[in-house]
Amino acid sequence: MPANPDRTTPPAAVLQALSLPRFREPSTSGPITVAIEGPNGAGKTTLCRALSRTLGFPWCLGTDEAWFAEPLKVRMIRDAEWYASAMFFLSGCFEQTRALRTRPDRLIIMDRCLWSTLAVHAAVQFDRLEALIAMVQPIARQIQVPRLTIVLEASFDTCQSRIANKSGTARALDELTATPAFHSREREFYHWLSRQTPAVTFVDADVATADEVVHKTLDLFKTRLPEIVGT
């Protein structure tokens, strides 16, 4: 079971000393993938659905749906050893990426990607991120990361208010890491990630309405992917 994220506060120096491995170069064939990232309650799924409707491109989970059979998903999030959970979800991300390469779509929007798994474990303890980077290093050149990652930023209180509107398993799992310390370290991870790669950018989703977040994100699409969305 994951450790209590408030039990210790790992030194930021651990994070600053880390570097991403060199991942596979973006493919010139197959669809462009854009991942929507951020903390639980930031509005990722809502945004993915809205972008799909507006742009006319499909959206999907960043992890293959086969990995989301509820009993197994709950077990791997709530009960498994952290490294088993991390490897489980990373494998689902890798399999989803492989499957997407054969799709005929020009663009696919992803609700989370491998960055989410790294973010969650970094938010518990930065030493975990160090271990996970070492684990994927030998295979990094075979791992395709999204062409663009958009991170939604929202305060802890805002995320909590949105989580409170959920129900059932979704709410229960989100509440497992619902602490200010976890939220802060997760945010720190994403900003570290943005310093590692220019393919990561941010949208302020804290007090904006869902429509305003969509418009902000579309502006990013026009700037970063003009060949798809246009200007």
pLDDT at position 8 over 90: no
Q: Is the dihedral of CA 70, 72, 75, 77 positive or negative?
A: negative
pLDDT at position 7 over 50: no
Q: Which residues contact 160 (CB under 8 A, 6 or more apart)?
A: 41, 178
- Comparing C-alpha atoms, which of 119, 78, 94, 110 is closest to residue 24? 94
* Side chain identity at residue 108, one-letter code: I
pLDDT tens, residue by residue, 168-216: 999 999 999 999 999 999 999 999 999 999 999 999 999 889 999 999 9
Q: How many CA atoms lie within 13 A of 21 on its CB side?
A: 21
Q: Map tokens 């992890």 to a residue.
A: 63
Residue 129, pLDDT score: 95
Q: Map tokens 């989410």 to a residue.
A: 116
User: Domains plus CATH for the chain?
Assistant: 32-229 (3.40.50.300)
For 11-72, where are the E strands, in sequence order?
A: 32-37, 59-61
* Residue 63 and residue 96 in contact, taking contact as beta carbons nearer than 8 Å: yes
Element holding 113 (H helix, E strand): none
pLDDT tens, residue by residue, 204-230: 999 889 999 999 999 999 999 998 886
Going by pLDDT thresholds of 50, 70 and 90, the confidence category of residue 26 is confident
Going by pLDDT thresholds of 50, 70 and 90, the confidence category of residue 12 is confident
Longest dimension (CA), the chain: 48
Per the model's pLDDT, the better-predicted residue between 228 and 149 turns out to be 149
pLDDT tens, residue by residue, 89-98: 999 999 999 9
Residue 31, pLDDT score: 94
What one-character-per-residue DSSP string does 212-224 give? Answer: HHHHHHHHHHHHH
